[in-house]
Structure 1
């Protein structure tokens, strides 16, 4: 996945107060869309240090923390060792390079991950294959922000364009809304986050 090298370097210092706060807000937004999730299996896709997933661990039967960065996964392993061991697992894997035929989940959530992915449609298609029938993919990311100029990340997304792309892939019952606005949130610029819920 894009920018893995960068995340390898910052893994040990990633959990800043700002990131912890945004993770809590994002987890709460995701929680609003969960239906009978206690018996379901979930994937925190592009989990980073597990900030969002740790907030949602008790919402699911099991949670797989998945990321392309070994150092990020090591941070998650430290957090889940002990009491959470039976509910949580980790996997270091890159969906931009390959697909996983034997991986399945009822819920997949990804928070500020899509902006790092070069081929958005390819990854969303591969995640569609991972979802169980009627499973949910939940995306939290930045609304398009013309002030952000970067050759490393997308400068956010138009919700309508993303919905159109996902509809073509086969996702249905798609709904999205902006739920959070913060200062200096996106590469030093004020920005807003949206949440999108979709079903297979």
Structure 2
């Protein structure tokens, strides 16, 4: 889906701040949230695409103001409510106040019927699809062309997997883009590699 979560390639947010010695966890509750969502996936309560999509569905102001593990907590709580594990009222009673959840999910989709098997060396273009549900297509490559330089084994198709829809697994193609094609007036010359699902591509 097109949402606030898809920040890749967007400008205006300043430099990316990072530290090679950054802590993984800052508070004990973050460890519990991380363990709980990992357990939920292991037990089959939801899968990782559903988990990611519930984060994508967060209200934009909440998403931008939330920490990494607050986003995880929102996704975990939203999916547990949607799947009948607990209720929002129970969450708010334990929290002692409001407990914001993600917005309802939009419909997903199955595999694209016209997809083609590609090979290394093929020149491809990313389709200009706008998908209301879960999608693993970064917005900055939509409509752009590149060259296939690698092929990965088939994997659950996220547009379907994030919505409980039956679909065939698809390979991802390592597509090499020229940075100047992606950001024509604001990039130094470089190659950008993106793993792109088969349904998102067509021959250039």
Category of TM-score, reference length = shorter chain: under 0.3
Q: TM-score, normalised by structure 2?
A: 0.25
Q: Which has the higher strand share?
A: 1
Larger Rg: 2
TM-score for both structures, normalised by structure 1: 0.25
